[in-house]
Amino acid sequence: MEVSSSFVREMVCLNCKEKFTTTKIRSRYVRVVKHESDFKPIYQDLSAYPILYNAAVCPHCGFAFTDDFSPYFADGVKDEIKESITSRWNSRSFGEERTIEEAIEAYKLAYISASIKKEKSLTIAGITLRIAWLYNDLKDVESEMRFKKIARDLYTQSYTEGDYVGTQMSETRVIYLMAELSHQIGDNEGAVRNFSRVIERQRTSIEPKLIEMAKERWQEIREQNQQEKVRAD
């Protein structure tokens, strides 16, 4: 008997504490072929596409969250969630297999939930970057770039606040994403500045691959700027 690549996991809503189910992908079916320059994973089998299922949506209250959310709620936050999300929520389930469009909707609910709850900028940046990746799958360039700019700004905020400390994201990786996303949205000045910051860490960083990626990107932008200058002359 063939085992399905997906399975159903029981969840407990962080907000209302009600139980619900959501779909997940079995890790043994996940085959990453490569990563893009912004770390977007490219999978061998799109039927086992775990990014579609990172955000769980509570069908009872509409609160959506990822595994990166903190269980802590500050005073008044649940009241704000009730007013801004639950009062407008038409109960529906995101627990079955999802299309890319449904996954985007789930992530957008998580983005709103995280913003109201005041999750770490790093956590919210990860949500918006995944929304951008999914828009990339749909070839919706305008929406992709819009969410990449939001992600870039949130990674910058995370770097400034230092809220990445104690997570799996290193400082070097945060700065690299600030640079790469700046490059992708056309902010070459910001890209060069932050790629240079990454390169400056080459003697102390334990991520040599990131240093090399930053050097390659920095050189690409430099050559591009020189070519544009020649054309302008």
DSSP character for 220? H
DSSP conformation class of 8:
E
Q: Which segments in the chain show pLDDT lower than 70?
A: 1-2, 229, 232-233
For residue 23, report the phi and psi dihedrals to the nearest 5 degrees.
Answer: -90, 140
Question: Tokens standing for 17?
Answer: 């504490």
Instruction: Tell me 98's DSSP state.
Output: -
- Interstrand relation of 41-43 and 56-57 (parallel, antiparallel or unpaired): unpaired
Residue 84 CB-half CA count within 13 A: 16
What is the pLDDT at residue 33? 95
Residue 180 pLDDT: 97
pTM of the model: 0.93
Task: Map residue 196 onto helix, strand or coil.
Answer: helix
Which of 193, 163, 162, 191 has its CA nearest to residue 179? 191
Give the tokens for residue 67: 């595994």
Using a CB cutoff of 8 Å and minimum separation of 24, what contacts does 39-45 make? Answer: 39/177, 40/133, 40/136, 45/5
User: Do residues 201 and 211 lie in contact, with contact meaning Cβ atoms separated by under 8 Å?
Assistant: yes
**∠187-189-192 over CA atoms, to 5°?**
110
Helices marked H in 118-140 — which ranges? 121-137
What digits encode the pLDDT tens for the residues 96-121?
Answer: 999 999 999 999 999 999 999 999 99
